[in-house]
Structure 1
Amino acid sequence: MSEHDFPDDLKKLQAELHRSYAEYRMLCRTLPWSTEPLSGWPGVKHPHTDEVTAGREDSPGYTPEQVAAEAQLWARIRELSIEVSMHPYWNTLERGPELVEARTALKHHADALAAVSE
């Protein structure tokens, strides 16, 4: 990919988007599998190995705090996505392959990627 001279504020927005999305994924790993309380189901026992697969434990559903945390992070991700995609820098590029390549390059820019490895 070619080098781009992205403005600092755009790189910071992309880094914050990466950070927020990483935080969101971490939160989601801790949440129950269902937002509402639901009964689980038994797994299927393999006839030869006796391994049980595909079952689920009961889900207690999300607590009000978990609902709020998930909604807040997702709203922040949407907000940052809009800010990045509507940044005035994109108007300085030709529409077409150059613009697509630049948007991809920003997502993989070292400054943005460093935000999630800190």
Structure 2
Amino acid sequence: PHDGFSDDNGWRRVERPASPGWGAEDQALVSKLRTREFELAVFVTSHPYWAEVAQERRAEARDRLKHTPPPAAPRTTSTESAT
């Protein structure tokens, strides 16, 4: 939870109400997502593929993997869209 504030010393008045904090449902969801993130991180970093990459190039290869754009959506041809 965060305290609210009110500030009218700037060029405009800024106010934020106090935050009630996370409820039990929110906390459970965040915990579940963090657990899943950890599982996936272990899966990716321990995948047999990395044994094929030279040790001195693994950090660079993993960094490139993080910055790989998602695949493009498949394109439909004009005959496919007509059916």
Alignment match of 2:45 (pick from 74, 85, 95): 85
Structure with the bigger RCO (C-alpha within 8 Å, sep 6+) is 1
Aligned length: 72
User: 1:101 and 2:29 equivalent?
Assistant: no
CA–CA distance in structure 2, aligned partners of residues 86 and 44 of structure 1: 53
When you count helix as a share of all residues, which structure comes out higher? 1
Extract unaligned runs of 5+ from structure 2: 74-83
**Aligned residues: CA RMSD:** 2.2
Amino acid at match of 2:33: L
* Residue identity opposite 1:106 in structure 2: L
Which ranges of 4 or more aligned residues in structure 1 deviate by more than 6 Å? none
What secondary structure sits across from 1:42 in the alignment?
strand
For each residue in 1:55-109, what CA deviation from the matched residue of structure 2 results, as whole angstroms up to 9, or x when unmatched? 532111111111111111111111111111111211122112x212211222233
Q: Which has the larger radius of gyration?
A: 2
- Structure 1 residues not aligned, in runs of 5+: 1-33
1:1-118 alignment to 2 at 5 Å?
Answer: 34=1, 38-46=2-10, 49=11, 51-53=12-14, 55-96=15-56, 98-110=57-69, 113-114=70-71
- What residue identity is the alignment partner of 1:52? R
AA of the residue aligned to 2:39: E
Percent identity over the alignment? 31
